[in-house]
């Protein structure tokens, strides 16, 4: 992957966070970008940041997303809005042993009820 492409991918991932904070109107596309490519892009941009050289006492670096944001961006891009969880796990190791009912889940859910209906109609 070229450094330019890595910066594009990292920027598109960061846009999802900026969109949530209402700093951009719409995030750049991540269509067709795999999780491996997202992680590789982050590594490339981090390496560029580490190699940045001082210009008149200043450094220019690029913001890189945390792995949690990368995972969230990947899930938002690759899973549809649904009322079903993508993943359900016990909240602790102890609960796995005792089969307690407390669980945590990862899901892509709508912020309004009509979103699932819109997705199903499409």
26, 19 contact by CB (below 8 A):
yes
- The confidence score (pLDDT) of residue 77 equals 92
The pLDDT tens digits for 8-63 are 999 999 999 999 999 999 999 999 999 999 999 999 999 999 999 889 999 889 99
d(CA 111, CA 92): 28
Scored b (16 or more CB within 10 A) or e, 90-112 reads beeeeeeeeeeeeeeeeebeeee
| Stretch 72-93: mean pLDDT | 87
What are the structural domain ranges in the chain? 1-66, 79-122
Model confidence at 104, pLDDT cuts 50, 70, 90, reads confident
- The confidence score (pLDDT) of residue 14 equals 96
């Amino acid at each position: 992957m070229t450094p330019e492409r890595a910066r594009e991918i990292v920027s598109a991932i960061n846009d999802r966070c900026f969109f949530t904070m209402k700093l951009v109107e719409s995030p750049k596309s991540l269509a067709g970008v795999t999780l491996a490519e997202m992680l590789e892009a982050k590594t490339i941009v981090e390496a560029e940041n580490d190699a940045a050289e001082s210009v008149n006492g200043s450094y220019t670096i690029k913001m890189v997303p945390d792995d949690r944001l990368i995972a969230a961006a990947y899930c938002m891009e690759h899973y549809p809005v649904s009322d079903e969880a993508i993943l359900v796990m016990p909240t602790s190791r102890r609960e796995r042993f005792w089969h307690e009912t407390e669980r945590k889940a990862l899901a892509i859910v709508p912020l309004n009820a009509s979103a699932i209906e819109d997705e199903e109609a499409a």
